[in-house]
């Protein structure tokens, strides 16, 4: 943006955050619903029929990535070149690469033809901006992000806004100067390859009708105040399709009959409850060129193993393949036994991971069409509501106003006793996390969770679970992350909001164990952690060690934070601002721990074996690895007395202090007085190199 006024306005946008540019990002996904609606709280866009693409532009170089984070620069060099020539800012966009016909309509089959022949009108339609010139816009409302997107292109001559259907909608509130003219020169950003997808407001039903009449795939409805939720299938974005389509996994193929070459039909399926389910044979719509291409791809992944959990109906002369390729299929309807009727092959989805291919059933919502309503116009009939009193996160007083909060989680076994001595029930735990949510969510949101489940309370036995191996509701996000130690993918639960927090509580999770990194930057933790873990020593020894650590931090320019573990120890967090890898974080904490151990050799130990550190405080550095976790701030621990892991001021670590001072019965009085004193933990972070130099200078010997 060339305008100083716009730069100033950008910095002051609500929700804007000064952050480093992310290297990759998974797109926000829309939820499929069964019918269109009108609402003044939503905007409506064309559902483009192509490949979803995140474009990252930095220092004149561009990386375009698919939904499953595959770099596609080599497949679409014209898009990359256009972005490199025209986008001068450091920016990240969300959009769709499509191939257009002569009427300006996108078709997935046209895109398949383009990939084979290089012929066709290739366009990257941008519909969102996620990052700009040092600022993350993920927490900025959609309507404002649309405004910022317009700012960027105002710097260049002409407009590239393009929505071919707007002119057909009576009274439409289009934002395009050239709507209805897809080939208008002003819709071209230096070439035909980059355009911004426009939107309309209010009239979703009429817009959907026009999309259907023009044989488009459908429309997307987006809530105006929605934040961008990376990797999440959100109800703030909705898709309404004009015809039935389904992504399927190719699991085999049958022998051809008659004059048909190479392949008879494709044997297809999708995942249901992590089991591969047969969905029928697909033979229509495959050209001879595609038959040959598919044949050579499939013969390379042949297997003797039938991949379905249950054998499908007997298929003659079937060749099984590993379930690695995803196809898009259009069809007439689902049969009673969940087979596609009259399926037509549309093409391969190089942008989709087979493990993500599931049956996508349209959800049925009651729509609030009130023009004056400020509530979410979607209200799930299964959603409960509760009257909650919430403390202001950034204030020192309790917000006395009762608010209505939509809770999707139905609490089971509410009267089960979790703490027998204190007579604390599962419902008490559930209510605590509802009330503490504004405080704990900043430290668990968008992070993979290791579940410490205690379904029968603190004396009933607890167990850790990382892999979500059972049915989960559609609104709950999970993320498959590769584990090097286990040599397998683990499906982690990602905490996104109060409902995913309460989902964990209902599973029996008393405390929360989030990763130090977020799902959109898994390899870069937000903080480094030093765990002061005592073994058979008085807690005063832990306080003494923490005080010496604070001297090191003060002498080295390190802004560190401490909290009770909620058990016997102290957790020290050092903000990193997601600028360093886990390996760098571990090495840094080892340096700090080494100095601390050298200063207090009689009180501390670096030995990992408990037998070798009895009577000392263990300086545990090894929480700074992917998948390693400690209890989050403000979570309850499964210990007698119902203690809470509580952020502290360093001045509070003094004689007679006890971790048990903070528990479920008094934590809210503390928060009413102090608020959240830990906000800086997720901030910009230290300059690690500078801090290491300072440590070396201060502790030469």
- Main-chain phi, psi angles of 20, to 5 degrees: -65, 155
Can you tell me the mean pLDDT for 518-538? 92
Whether residues 484 and 592 fall in one domain: no
Whether residues 478 and 608 fall in one domain: no
Whether the Cβ atoms of residue 172 and residue 155 lie closer than 8 Å to each other: no
| CATH number of domain containing 656 | 3.90.920.10
166 occurs within a structural domain: yes
pLDDT score of 271 more than 60: yes
Can you tell me the mean pLDDT for 375-395? 35
Residue 158: helix, strand or coil by DSSP? coil
Whether residues 408 and 311 fall in one domain: no
Whether residues 318 and 435 fall in one domain: no
Assigned token pair, 274: 């992590």
| CATH number of domain containing 66 | 3.30.470.30
377 occurs within a structural domain: no
Whether residues 54 and 152 fall in one domain: yes
User: CB burial class (10 A; 0-12, 13-18, 19+) of residue 613?
Assistant: buried
| CATH number of domain containing 330 | 2.40.50.140
Which has the higher per-residue pLDDT, 95 or 183?
Answer: 95
372 occurs within a structural domain: no
Tokens 């170089």 label which residue? 61
Whether residues 77 and 126 fall in one domain: yes
Predicted pLDDT of residue 500: 95
365 occurs within a structural domain: no
Whether residues 232 and 276 fall in one domain: no
Can you tell me the mean pLDDT for 126-138? 94
Whether residues 514 and 534 fall in one domain: no
Got the DSSP string for 180-229? T-TT-GGG-SSSTTEEEE--EEE-HHHHHHHHHHTT--EEEEEETTPPP-
Assigned token pair, 46: 């064309």
50 occurs within a structural domain: yes
Among residues 520, 542, 575, which one ends one of the domains? 520
Among residues 190, 221, 241, which one ends one of the domains? 241
Whether the Cβ atoms of residue 527 and residue 576 lie closer than 8 Å to each other: yes
Q: Find the range with the poorest average confidence among 153-162, 171-180, 558-567.
A: 171-180
Residue 507: partners with Cβ closer than 8 Å, 6 or more residues away:
451, 453, 455
Taking residue 230's Cβ as centre, other Cβ atoms within 10 Å add up to: 22
Can you tell me the mean pLDDT for 337-356? 88
Number of domains within the chain:
4
Whether residues 623 and 548 fall in one domain: yes
Query: What is the share, in percent, of the chain residues with pLDDT greater than 70?
Result: 86
388-406 pLDDT, tens per residue? Answer: 333 443 433 333 332 234 7
Domain that holds residue 639: 527-698
Whether residues 626 and 487 fall in one domain: no
Predicted pLDDT of residue 475: 86
5-63 pLDDT, tens per residue? Answer: 777 888 889 999 998 888 788 899 998 888 899 999 999 999 999 999 999 999 889 99
373 occurs within a structural domain: no
pLDDT score of 287 more than 80: yes
423 occurs within a structural domain: yes
Pairing mode of beta strands 161-162, 194-197: parallel
370 occurs within a structural domain: no
Whether residues 68 and 137 fall in one domain: yes
Helix residue spans in 474-581 (DSSP H): 498-506, 539-556
Pairing mode of beta strands 233-241, 403-407: unpaired
Q: In 3D, which of 136, 111, 108 has the Cα closest to residue 121?
A: 111
Q: Nearest-5° angle of CA 630, CA 502, CA 452?
A: 35
Can you tell me the mean pLDDT for 357-366? 73
189-248 pLDDT, tens per residue? Answer: 334 689 998 899 989 999 999 988 888 889 999 999 999 988 888 888 999 998 889 999
Whether residues 66 and 192 fall in one domain: yes
pLDDT score of 441 more than 80: yes
Among residues 459, 489, 520, which one ends one of the domains? 520
């Amino acid at each position: 943006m060339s305008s100083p006024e716009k730069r100033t306005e950008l910095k002051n946008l609500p929700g804007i955050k000064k952050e480093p540019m992310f290297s990759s990002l998974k797109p926000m996904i829309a939820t499929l619903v069964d019918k269109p609606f009108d609402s003044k709280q939503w905007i409506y866009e064309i559902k483009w029929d192509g490949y979803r693409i995140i474009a990252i532009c930095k220092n004149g170089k561009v990386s375009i990535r698919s939904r499953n984070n595959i770099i596609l620069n080599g497949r679409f060099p014209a898009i990359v070149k256009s972005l490199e020539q025209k986008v001068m800012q450091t920016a990240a966009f969300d959009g769709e690469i499509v191939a257009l016909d002569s009427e300006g309509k996108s078709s997935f089959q046209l895109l398949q033809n383009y990939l084979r022949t290089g012929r066709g009108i290739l366009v990257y339609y941008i519909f969102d901006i996620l990052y700009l010139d040092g600022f993350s816009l993920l927490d900025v409302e959609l309507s404002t992000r649309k405004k910022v997107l317009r700012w960027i292109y105002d710097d260049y001559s002409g407009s590239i806004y393009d929505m071919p259907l707007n002119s057909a909608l009576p009274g439409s509130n289009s934002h395009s100067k050239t709507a209805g003219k897809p080939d208008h020169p002003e819709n071209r950003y230096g070439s035909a390859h980059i355009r911004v997808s426009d939107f309309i407001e209010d009239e979703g039903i009429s817009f959907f009708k026009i999309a259907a009449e023009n044989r488009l795939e459908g429309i997307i409805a987006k809530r105006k105040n929605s934040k961008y939720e990376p990797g999440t299938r959100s109800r703030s974005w909705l898709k309404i399709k004009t015809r039935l389509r389904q992504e399927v996994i190719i699991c085999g193929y049958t022998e051809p009959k008659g004059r048909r070459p190479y392949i008879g039909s494709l044997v297809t399926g999708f995942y249901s409850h992590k089991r591969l389910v047969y969905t029928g044979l697909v033979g229509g719509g495959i050209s001879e060129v595609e038959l040959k291409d598919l044949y050579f791809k499939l013969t390379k992944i042949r297997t003797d193993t039938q991949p379905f959990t249950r054998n499908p109906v007997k298929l003659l002369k079937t060749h099984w393949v590993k379930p690695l390729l995803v196809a898009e299929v259009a069809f007439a309807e689902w049969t009673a036994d969940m087979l596609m009727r009259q399926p037509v092959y549309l093409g391969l989805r190089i942008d989709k991971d087979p493990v993500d291919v599931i049956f996508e059933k349209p959800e049925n919502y009651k729509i609030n069409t009130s023009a004056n309503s400020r509530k979410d116009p979607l209200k799930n009939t299964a959603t409960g509501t509760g009257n909650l009193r919430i403390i202001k996160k950034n204030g020192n007083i309790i917000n006395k106003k009762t608010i209505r909060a939509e809770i999707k989680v139905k609490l089971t076994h509410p009267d089960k006793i979790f703490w027998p001595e204190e007579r604390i029930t599962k419902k008490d735990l559930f209510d605590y996390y509802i009330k503490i949510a504004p405080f704990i969510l900043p430290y668990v949101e968008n992070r993979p969770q290791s579940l410490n489940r205690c379904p029968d309370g603190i004396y009933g036995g607890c167990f850790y679970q990382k892999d979500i191996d059972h049915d989960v509701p559609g609104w709950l996000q999970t993320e498959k992350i590769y584990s090097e130690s286990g040599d397998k993918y683990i499906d982690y639960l990602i905490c996104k909001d109060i409902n995913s927090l309460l989902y964990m509580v209902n599973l029996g999770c008393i405390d929360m164990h989030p990763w130090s990194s977020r799902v959109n930057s898994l390899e870069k933790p937000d903080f480094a952690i030093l765990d002061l873990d005592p073994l058979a020593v008085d807690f005063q020894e832990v306080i003494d060690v923490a005080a010496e650590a604070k001297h090191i931090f003060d002498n080295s320019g390190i802004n560190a934070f401490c909290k009770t573990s909620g058990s016997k120890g102290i957790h020290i967090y050092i903000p990193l601002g997601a600028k360093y890898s886990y390996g760098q974080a571990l090495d840094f904490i080892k340096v700090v721990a080494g100095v601390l151990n050298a200063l207090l050799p009689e009180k501390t130990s670096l030995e990992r074996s408990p037998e070798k550190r009895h009577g000392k405080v263990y300086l545990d550095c090894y929480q700074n690895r992917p998948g390693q976790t400690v209890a989050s701030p403000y979570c309850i621990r499964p210990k007698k007395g119902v203690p809470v892991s509580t952020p502290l001021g360093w001045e509070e670590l003094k004689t007679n202090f006890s971790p048990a001072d903070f528990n479920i019965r008094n934590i809210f009085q503390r928060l009413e007085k102090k608020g959240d004193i830990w906000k800086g933990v997720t901030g910009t972070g230290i300059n690690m190199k500078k801090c290491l130099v300072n440590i070396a200078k201060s502790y030469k010997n």
